[in-house]
Amino acid sequence: MVTVGPSASNERGGPGDTVENTLRSLLARRLKIRPDQVPLTTRFADLGVDSQSAAELTAELASALGRPLAPTLLWQHPTPETLLARLSGPAQGGASSAAVPDPVFDTLPHEPVAIVGVACRFPGAADPEQFWKLLVDGIDAVSDPPLDRPGRGIGPHGFRKGGFLPGIELFDPGFFAISPREAAQLDPQQRSPPTAPPATTPA
């Protein structure tokens, strides 16, 4: 467990304080400042946390807390304050500082699984229905690369066939707090997952 000494505002020593101290310690090491100087209300993107360092920070936090964390956690909770609220329950100034327990899935062992939304993007399939048709009909989605795709048939390492996602240039990096420089180098496989969740909710 990675922790730091309690600050003046962290004297209760409850579970929420441990989570906050851990997050402050990890961020302080990256920002090269003291843990008590970490601004909790500033967006991770404004603290210089890009997609790679967000994945690294999430992995470090999961290891320090001893529990698995979703790799998209920092995108869903874009500031240290909102992340702490998710990991520690009510905000530090709330009526309770008890940690939110992990959901117990075996309380209703015979309850059927309910899928409330699903989305996907694959080469040749922009949604689950099209993907299912590919599977049922045995369609090969390998095709010629788009004309604007870098590396298309150029040089000894160029490619002439592949599975390609359409419309990757339509990705809006600003919506996900990704800098233009990083967006230009972002792998299409990293662009696809953030754009899928909105499609799971019926209009």
- The alpha-carbon radius of gyration of the chain (Å, integer) is 22
Q: What is the predicted pLDDT for the residue at 37?
A: 92
Domain ranges of the chain: 15-88, 128-200
pTM given for the model: 0.43
119-167 pLDDT, tens per residue?
Answer: 788 888 888 889 999 999 999 988 887 777 666 666 555 667 788 777 7
Q: Which residues of 17-39 are buried (b: 16+ CB within 10 A; e: fewer)?
A: bbbbbbbbbbbbeeeeeebeebe
Closest C-alpha to 187, from 170, 162, 168: 168
Q: What is the predicted pLDDT for the residue at 128?
A: 86
CATH code given to domain 15-88: 1.10.1200.10
Q: 56 vs 89, which has greater pLDDT?
A: 56
Closest C-alpha to 195, from 181, 180, 176: 176
Beta bridge partners of 122: 125
Structure confidence at residue 105 as a pLDDT band (50, 70, 90)? very low
Query: Residue type at 36?
Result: D
